[in-house]
Amino acid sequence: MRLGVLDIGSNTGHLLVVDAHGGAAPLPAFSHKEPLRLAEHLDDEGAVTDTGVEALTSFVASAIEVAEDKGCEEMLGFATSAVRDAINSYVVLETVHRETEVDIQVLSGEDEARLTFLAVRRWFGWSAGRLAVFDIGGGSLEIAGGADEAPDVAWSLPLGAARLARQWFAGSAPDDDTIKALRKQIRADIAHDAGHLLRAGAPDRAVATSKTFRSLARICGAAPAGDGPLVARTLPLDALEERIPELVTMDPDKLAKLPGVSPSRTHQIVPGALVAEACMDIFGLSELEICPWALREGVILERLDQISVLG
C-alpha cells in the first residue's frame, strides 16, 4: 500500500510518501518538506504564535494535495515536542483540523523514543544485540535501550537543538561563559536518569538517528548522503571533541559551508554537538553508529504490524 507519513517536528514539517507492505522495508517514493521551526515560533508563555499556526496549517494543506497527487491510501499524521509542549497545543491541532480535516496525533516523548528504537532494531536486526539509541530533535532528546523490539527503558528530555539555541543563544554568538553553563546544564539533565540505561551494562551497539547526528557525523568525516543509506557511518567522540571548540567560534556563514549542514540549522549545530558529546561521555561510548531510519520509519513499521495483525 502507499502511505503518507506527515511528521510535524520541532524544526521541519515533512510528508514522506512510502510504498510499504508487511515483511519488506518501506520504500520512499516522494518527500515534501518545509522548515516550519515551530520550536522557535513560541511566545514568552510557551504558546505557538499565530505565525507558527498559520505556517503549520498551510504546510498540512499542501501535504494533503501532495499525498492525493501521489495516490496515498492512508495518511499517518503525528507531532512531536514543539506541539506537545506548547500550552495551546489543543487549539493548534483544532485549528489545523478545522482548516484541513487532518487529525494529527501528538506523540509522547516516551513514544518517540520507543518508535525510534523500533526503527533502529528493524534496521540492524537481532544480531545487533542490546541496543542503546539516541535521537536529538529540535525540541527534545530521546534515549532508549533494550534487547528486544520494544525497549526496556525509554525517556525524553527537553534538550533539543532548536530549543537550546532559542533558550541560550537568543540569536547571538555564545560566549565562553554561556557555553560552559549550557554544557553543565546538559550534562546534569542527562546524568539525572542515566542509570535507567547504565544498569543493564554496556550496549552491544550504540546508535544515533536523525538530522542533528547525521550533520555532526558528516562534519566529523562520515560519508555524504549521496553515497546511499547502506554505507556505514559513525560519529566518533574524539573527533567531535576536537571539532566543538572550532564550531563555537564559527559564524553562521562558515557553519553553513560545512558538509552536511543546512543553512536553516546553523544555529543548532553547537547545542546539538554539546548534547551529542554529553551522551557519549556520560554513557561511556567512544562512538555512535548512524542509523538512516528514525521516528518516521518507526511509525510506518508499527502501522504495518497493526495491519498484519488485523489482516
Question: Does the residue 202 lie in any domain?
Answer: yes
User: What are the grid coordinates assigned to 138, written together?
Assistant: 529540535
pLDDT of residue 11: 87
Q: Identify the bridge partners of residue 155 per DSSP, sorted by sequence position.
A: 143
pLDDT of residue 310: 63
Asked if 190 and 278 count as a contact pair (C-beta separation under 8 A), the reply is yes
* Domain shared by 92 and 119, yes or no: no
pLDDT of residue 173: 77
* Domain shared by 101 and 131, yes or no: no
260: left (phi over 0), alpha (psi -120 to 50) or beta: left
User: What are the grid coordinates assigned to 154, written together?
Assistant: 525509554
Taken in order 239, 244, 245, 249, is the CA torsion positive or negative? positive
Determine how many CB atoms are found less than 10 A away from the CB of residue 244: 18
Quote the CA–CA distance of 100 and 85 in Å, as a whole number: 22
pLDDT of residue 274: 98
Quote the CA–CA distance of 185 and 179 in Å, as a whole number: 10
User: What are the grid coordinates assigned to 134, written together?
Assistant: 539516541
* Domain shared by 214 and 282, yes or no: yes
pLDDT of residue 18: 95
* Domain shared by 97 and 114, yes or no: no
Quote the CA–CA distance of 130 and 79 in Å, as a whole number: 28
Q: Which domain holds residue 24?
A: 2-106
Closest CA to 206 of 276, 119, 287: 287
* Domain shared by 236 and 169, yes or no: yes
Spell out, as residue ranges, where the chain has pLDDT lower than 70. 171, 310-311
* Domain shared by 253 and 136, yes or no: yes
User: What are the grid coordinates assigned to 128, written together?
Assistant: 545487533
Please write the tens of the pLDDT for every residue from 78-89: 999 999 999 999
Asked if 257 and 216 count as a contact pair (C-beta separation under 8 A), the reply is no
pLDDT of residue 171: 66
pLDDT of residue 311: 54
Output the domain CATH number for residue 130.
Answer: 3.30.420.150
pLDDT of residue 207: 98
Residue corresponding to grid cell 518517540: 112
Asked if 291 and 209 count as a contact pair (C-beta separation under 8 A), the reply is yes
Closest CA to 143 of 87, 189, 77, 79: 189
Question: Does the residue 223 lie in any domain?
Answer: yes
Strands 131-136, 105-106: pairing is unpaired
* Domain shared by 99 and 237, yes or no: no
Helix/strand/coil for 30: strand
Question: Does the residue 28 lie in any domain?
Answer: yes
* Domain shared by 286 and 182, yes or no: yes
* Domain shared by 33 and 85, yes or no: yes
Quote the CA–CA distance of 147 and 106 in Å, as a whole number: 27
Show contacts of 20-28: CB within 8 Å, 24+ apart: 20/300, 20/304, 21/304, 22/304, 22/305, 22/307, 22/308, 26/297, 26/300, 26/301, 26/304
Closest CA to 208 of 270, 80, 116: 116
* Domain shared by 206 and 281, yes or no: yes
pLDDT of residue 24: 85
Asked if 137 and 80 count as a contact pair (C-beta separation under 8 A), the reply is yes
